[in-house]
């Protein structure tokens, strides 16, 4: 009997329809487990000795090593680059290797490259002349590698086979686990004009003075990665998906015209040979300047240098330890400035190289943006381990290498610039310098997973942009209180996630197979992480786990699972549902409030109970005494109830409960007067925390966040029963727009009537 009483109580508060549903429930049919909170066992690789179940490197984790010694010569006259390199490859894997794979990225630009053949498109109705010339009248540029020799260290030719951007080198005998092998490659290629022919590397030509500024990368045959996950990562370079690279030490000698200024990955080991006395003195000052850059080569000196061309050469010697790649920039047109920045107990140099075209923007903000980025990223991950970070100005570029990156952002010829150019320049510098952390140090496989570096990096870019705006308020335009980040905040991703599903792929898709590359691999993962930090986990838990991931995998090769697992392992936050929804599907967020019913408690049986008893052939006397809930506005309510009946006046409660407590005890009891049955709906596929702001009649309000698991048993609709001392006057779901809800028209009760732009237009024209 008692059981029945409780049963009635609970169903009365849920809803009449729930009771009906239970009665009419159709016979169970077998179905797949599609619960959104099920663990990702089917999607994740099984943990093993190389990568363990907590997301850390396992007991047998290994990675290969590739050390390079290179002599590089720039032929400025003919825009040709040639090199001789010796690679020492260490096999730390437990496997015997019969051959080695080397990446020849420049072959993407060879005459017979297949990249243009997979490009699709139609003739445009109108084209810029430069696009027309580029697309229809320009002969294919031959920028592929010319491999002149591949030899072992006794000078014997090594058999090799080139399959487009990959070269397989046959080893004279199997490379045993733990063994090293040295070989050399001699090569040259024609450098492309990156402004007219695009590309992540190349030169810009300045017709007024006949000089070039070179930003050089992917310029040497590079070892492919061999790992426990992919074996040889020899997926071809089509031009889109970036790089998978092995860590190693580099000794690089670069010979360029004597009047060039050069900087690149690694420590300059012959500074006194290549610097003038004045430059040396300025450099010493820069090392002690923590608040503003010191100019090493002034604009006047750069402008003087561009008027002549030296026929002498100079060799710049760079030495880098534990980097995954090497890049450099060289030109006689460069202005050069530097400042010191304290990272932990070490000084790091923040450096900028730019032509006069970059000023006045670059001399003001580039080096400060570099320094600021290093501080934010070090705080969020680990102390920046290298001794410098360089930002090079290059037209239309945004590209990253260890310690050096290329960035766009050029004022007009009269030196003026728009906010778009200014913030764009600051944003791209922060982003590309940030790439030092992901993927240069936390060395994920870019060829396979674009989001692992771009997504994580764009998320931290947002954090760093906000810091930069705070630390350098005079970098902001007067109208802006904060740095106007265009990726990170939840509402920025709404148009993409709510857009055409035919043009959206899950984040967990190889880059070149996605649509809307920027939204897929940069914007959405950055937003997903920002929401995870701000809304789902909270900063303390998120930041600890994110830092743990960065530290576990710095100078190593993580996979997506290593990231997903570490974030859970370090926080005790089950996030499989979050990864599944945001990273493995194209679902979107749409949560709303569907229905609100208000009830009052009474001792008088309501019509629902009376009808039920009648149908069962029973009477009220068959039940234990019950408290009845009467819906406001119902027939029962109209008949019998005063809206403001105090709980103590509910006769049955008084007799059965209240009288059993002392007056002291009763003081500590809640005395709710208003009872609500609130139905929330979720038309969107993503499960998310349900954030609800309740506003009360007394002018107060509170926001309650129901964890995402509130949706664990019903993915479409749930109800909450509330017993309150105050009357609710309004309910708003996601009041601060922090979940990327794509349709907010169902987010309020009472419904807020919003006039669409179309209706406004219609009303106007009807007048």
Q: Site residues (CB under 5 A) for Zn ion?
A: 454
Nearer CB in complex with Zn ion: 445/454 = 454
Minimum distance, C-beta of residue 454 to Zn ion, in the bound complex (Å): 5
Minimum distance, C-beta of residue 523 to Zn ion, in the bound complex (Å): 12
Rounded to whole angstroms, what are the CA distances from 651 to 376, 458, 602, 603, 667? 63, 62, 8, 6, 19
Nearer CB in complex with Zn ion: 85/454 = 454
User: CB neighbours of 341 closer than 8 A, spacing ≥ 6?
Assistant: 290, 347, 348, 349, 350, 370, 371, 374, 375
Distance CA 564, CA 546 (A): 10
Nearer CB in complex with Zn ion: 234/376 = 376
Nearer CB in complex with Zn ion: 200/682 = 200
Nearer CB in complex with Zn ion: 349/452 = 452
Distance CA 419, CA 171 (A): 56
Minimum distance, C-beta of residue 589 to Zn ion, in the bound complex (Å): 25
Minimum distance, C-beta of residue 381 to Zn ion, in the bound complex (Å): 16
Phi–psi pair at 512, nearest 5 degrees: -70, -10
Minimum distance, C-beta of residue 435 to Zn ion, in the bound complex (Å): 6
DSSP codes of every residue in 572-619 = T---HHHHHHHHH----B--EEEEEEEEEEESSPPHHHHHHHHHHT--
Nearer CB in complex with Zn ion: 469/511 = 511
User: CB neighbours of 746 closer than 8 A, spacing ≥ 6?
Assistant: 590, 592, 593, 594, 681, 683, 733
Closest CA to 535 of 468, 470, 587, 488: 488
Distance CA 743, CA 593 (A): 12
Nearer CB in complex with Zn ion: 434/684 = 434
Distance CA 711, CA 681 (A): 10
Minimum distance, C-beta of residue 519 to Zn ion, in the bound complex (Å): 14
Minimum distance, C-beta of residue 251 to Zn ion, in the bound complex (Å): 28
- Which residue has the closest beta carbon to Zn ion? 454
3-state secondary structure 415-479: CCCCHHHHHHHHHHHHHHHHCHHHHHHECCCCCCCHHHHHHHHHHHHHHHHHHHHHHCHHHCCCC
Nearer CB in complex with Zn ion: 454/590 = 454
Token pair belonging to 465: 């942009």
Distance CA 436, CA 717 (A): 45
Minimum distance, C-beta of residue 400 to Zn ion, in the bound complex (Å): 6
Nearer CB in complex with Zn ion: 357/454 = 454
Distance CA 159, CA 170 (A): 6
Minimum distance, C-beta of residue 359 to Zn ion, in the bound complex (Å): 25
Nearer CB in complex with Zn ion: 143/511 = 511
Minimum distance, C-beta of residue 462 to Zn ion, in the bound complex (Å): 13
Please say whether the dihedral angle defined by the alpha carbons of residues 378, 384, 387 and 391, taken in this order, is positive or negative.
negative
Cα torsion 653, 659, 664, 670 to 10°: value is 0
Nearer CB in complex with Zn ion: 245/731 = 245
Nearer CB in complex with Zn ion: 454/548 = 454
Nearer CB in complex with Zn ion: 105/454 = 454
Angle made by CA atoms 743, 748, 754, in degrees to the nearest 5: 65
Minimum distance, C-beta of residue 457 to Zn ion, in the bound complex (Å): 6
Minimum distance, C-beta of residue 390 to Zn ion, in the bound complex (Å): 16
Radius of gyration of the chain measured on its C-alpha atoms:
33
Closest CA to 457 of 292, 242, 248: 242
DSSP state of 171: E
Minimum distance, C-beta of residue 431 to Zn ion, in the bound complex (Å): 6
Token pair belonging to 679: 């139905």
Closest CA to 322 of 247, 224, 245: 247
DSSP state of 657: T
Rounded to whole angstroms, what are the CA distances from 398 to 226, 424, 525? 28, 10, 19
């Amino acid at each position: 009997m008692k059981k029945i009483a409780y049963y009635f109580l609970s169903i009365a508060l849920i809803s009449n329809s729930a009771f009906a549903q239970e009665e009419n429930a159709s016979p169970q049919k077998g179905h797949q487990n599609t619960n959104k909170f099920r663990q990702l066992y089917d999607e994740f690789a099984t943990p093993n000795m190389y990568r363990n179940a907590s997301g850390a490197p396992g007991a047998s984790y290994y990675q290969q090593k590739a050390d390079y010694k290179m002599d590089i010569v720039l032929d400025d006259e003919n825009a040709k680059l040639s090199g001789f390199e010796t690679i020492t490859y260490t096999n730390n894997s437990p496997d015997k290797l019969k051959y080695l794979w080397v990446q020849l990225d420049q072959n993407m630009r060879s005459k017979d490259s297949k990249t243009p053949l997979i490009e699709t498109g139609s003739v445009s109705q109108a084209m810029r002349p430069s696009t027309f010339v580029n697309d229809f009248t320009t002969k294919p540029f031959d920028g592929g590698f010319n491999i002149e020799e591949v030899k072992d260290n006794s000078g014997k030719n090594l058999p090799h086979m080139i399959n487009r951007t990959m070269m397989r080198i046959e080893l004279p005998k199997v490379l045993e686990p733990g063994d090293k092998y040295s070989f050399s490659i001699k090569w040259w290629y024609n450098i492309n004009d990156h402004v007219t022919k695009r590309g992540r590397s190349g030169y810009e030509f300045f017709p007024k003075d006949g000089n070039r500024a070179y930003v050089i990368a992917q310029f040497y045959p590079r070892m492919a990665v061999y790992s426990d996950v992919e074996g040889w990562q020899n997926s071809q370079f089509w031009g889109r998906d970036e790089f998978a690279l092995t860590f190693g030490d580099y000794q690089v000698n670069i010979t360029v015209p004597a009047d060039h200024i050069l900087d690149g990955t690694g420590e300059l080991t012959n500074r006194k040979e290549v610097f003038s006395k004045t430059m040396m003195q300025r450099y010493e000052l820069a090392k002690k300047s923590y608040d503003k850059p010191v100019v090493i080569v002034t604009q006047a000196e750069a402008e003087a240098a561009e008027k002549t061309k030296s026929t002498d050469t100079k060799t710049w010697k760079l030495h880098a330890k534990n980097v995954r790649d090497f890049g450099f920039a060289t030109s006689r047109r460069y202005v050069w400035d530097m400042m010191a920045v304290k990272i932990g107990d070490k000084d790091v140099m923040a450096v900028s190289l730019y032509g006069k075209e970059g000023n006045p923007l670059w001399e003001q903000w580039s080096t400060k943006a570099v320094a600021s980025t290093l501080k934010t990223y070090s705080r969020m991950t680990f102390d920046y381990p290298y001794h410098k970070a360089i930002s090079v100005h290059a037209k239309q570029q945004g590209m990253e290498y260890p310690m050096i990156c290329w960035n766009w952002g050029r004022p007009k010829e009269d030196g003026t610039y728009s906010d778009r150019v200014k913030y764009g320049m600051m944003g791209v510098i922060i982003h590309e310098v940030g790439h030092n952390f992901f993927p240069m140090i936390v060395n994920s496989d870019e060829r396979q997973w674009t989001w692992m570096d771009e997504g994580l990096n764009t998320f931290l870019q947002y954090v760093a942009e906000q810091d930069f705006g705070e630390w350098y308020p005079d970098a902001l335009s007067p109208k802006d209180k904060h740095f106007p980040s265009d990726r990170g905040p939840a509402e920025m991703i709404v148009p993409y996630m709510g857009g055409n599903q035919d043009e959206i792929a899950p984040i967990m898709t190889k880059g070149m197979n996605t649509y809307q590359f920027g939204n897929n691999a940069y914007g959405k993962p950055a937003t997903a992480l920002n929401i995870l930090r701000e809304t789902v986990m909270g900063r303390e838990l998120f930041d600890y786990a994110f830092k743990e991931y960065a530290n576990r995998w710095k100078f190593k090769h993580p996979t997506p699972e290593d990231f997903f697992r570490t974030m859970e392992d370090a926080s005790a936050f089950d996030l499989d549902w979050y990864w599944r929804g945001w990273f493995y599907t194209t679902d979107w967020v749409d949560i709303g409030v569907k229905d609100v019913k208000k009830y009052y408690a009474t001792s008088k049986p309501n019509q629902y109970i009376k009808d039920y008893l009648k149908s069962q052939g029973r009477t009220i006397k068959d039940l234990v005494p019950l408290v009845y809930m009467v819906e406001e506005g119902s027939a029962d309510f109209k008949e019998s109830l005063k809206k403001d009946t105090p709980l103590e006046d509910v006769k049955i409660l008084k007799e059965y409960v209240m009288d059993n407590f002392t007056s002291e005890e009763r003081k500590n009891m809640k005395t709710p007067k208003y009872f609500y049955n609130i139905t929330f709906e979720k038309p969107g596929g993503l499960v998310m925390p349900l954030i609800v702001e309740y506003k009360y009649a007394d002018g107060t309000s509170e926001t309650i966040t129901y964890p995402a698991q509130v949706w664990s048993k019903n993915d479409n609709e749930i109800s909450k029963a509330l017993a309150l001392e105050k009357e609710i006057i309004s309910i708003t779901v996601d009041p601060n727009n922090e979940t990327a809800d794509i349709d907010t028209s169902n987010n309020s009760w009472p419904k807020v009537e919003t006039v669409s732009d179309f209706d406004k237009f219609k009303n106007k024209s009807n007048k």
